[in-house]
Structure 1
């Protein structure tokens, strides 16, 4: 019985290691039209699983209590917290270590595709043309084939419609180094 339990434990550990050692593909999509909508999906195990919704701005919202009305939390006495003697120092260490964490994470994120399409317009057609002239530097500049920009002006009046999609991948175990270094800099090293 114990051999079976150890075998199952070993098998589940290997499965977990395989999941965190293989890339996770993320797809982020934003749409602007009548309303702004944002959606994020993830595909695990090097993109072999079906797309799993991570975030969708149109669904799953919880109702918020009306302003001025107490929430449904149980009434009671509020406990006073002791002042944290190392709180300020820790916050300062976090601020100092954040750029290193961000740089370490961004170096491990790989961009697959960026696509932006849209139509925009301002109240004055001359301002729309001026903005399009500024954006033309980005639209017609040489860029990698995985980046696509299609922005068109609308001279008839104010408008904003379009969509942006970013596809990227990262390996969760590769993020472990920057996260551990951040934790070491913030919680262990005292400067």
Structure 2
């Protein structure tokens, strides 16, 4: 029994120390679809983690009842903690490929312009992107719309992500 536990511990340690690849594919045409896959070392990401085109199980969804105010507080805590966690994670993740075209509009020209201004530093951050990266944003000031396509391949060593994830968990406690 102890040999099995030791072998299992070695396998977990090896997986945590090996570089992992994560591939995110996003497409809004003809229906919105997100696909996330993972792979180990130099192998292409083949293990599907998320595919929104798969049929979902029908079950009861929680409604917006008495817990709606509590869930709003929880969401605001998460949104407040995400910028620092995102920066921490980006320091430990290598972007291997990034192709993103996005067309968006919020229905209000002022809000669309503000969002476009907030996205501009990300689009201009060519130093953080691999050679050949494509980031294109196109604001639509006339209507509310979100369309686009994206393909993102990230590479990271899982054990190096643990401190950032622990800080995120501590901020959300």
Output the TM-score relative to the length of structure 2.
0.57
Q: Is the 8 A contact 2:21 2:45 kept in 1?
A: no
Q: Is the 8 A contact 1:28 1:41 kept in 2?
A: yes
Superposed CA deviations along residues 15-52 of structure 1, whole A, max 9, x for unmatched, are 11000111211111112322222211111x32447611
User: Which residue matches 2:95?
Assistant: 111
User: Which residue matches 1:171?
Assistant: 157
User: Which residue matches 1:41?
Assistant: 37
> Rg larger in 1 or in 2?
1
Is 1:55 the counterpart of 2:31? The answer is no
**1:140-179 matched pairs, under 5 angstroms:** 143=126, 144-148=130-134, 163-179=149-165
Q: Is the 8 A contact 1:112 1:146 kept in 2?
A: no
Alignment: residue pair count: 137
CA shift in 2, pair 1:18/1:58, >3 Å: same
Output the TM-score relative to the length of structure 1.
0.53
Q: Distance in 2 between matches of 1:165 and 1:64?
A: 31
CA shift in 2, pair 1:142/1:60, >3 Å: closer
CA shift in 2, pair 1:31/1:181, >3 Å: closer
Is 1:32 the counterpart of 2:28? The answer is yes
Give the secondary structure class of the aligned counterpart of 1:146: coil
Q: Distance in 1 between matches of 2:164 and 2:4?
A: 31
Give the secondary structure class of the aligned counterpart of 2:131: coil
Per the TM alignment, residue 63 of structure 1 is displaced from its structure 2 partner at its CA by 2.6
Per the TM alignment, residue 103 of structure 1 is displaced from its structure 2 partner at its CA by 2.1
Larger fraction in helix: 2
Structure 2 portions without partners, runs of 5+: 64-72, 104-119, 138-145
Q: Which of residues 17, 25, 29 in structure 1 aligns to 2:13? A: 17
CA shift in 2, pair 1:64/1:18, >3 Å: same
Q: Distance in 2 between matches of 1:107 and 1:20?
A: 18
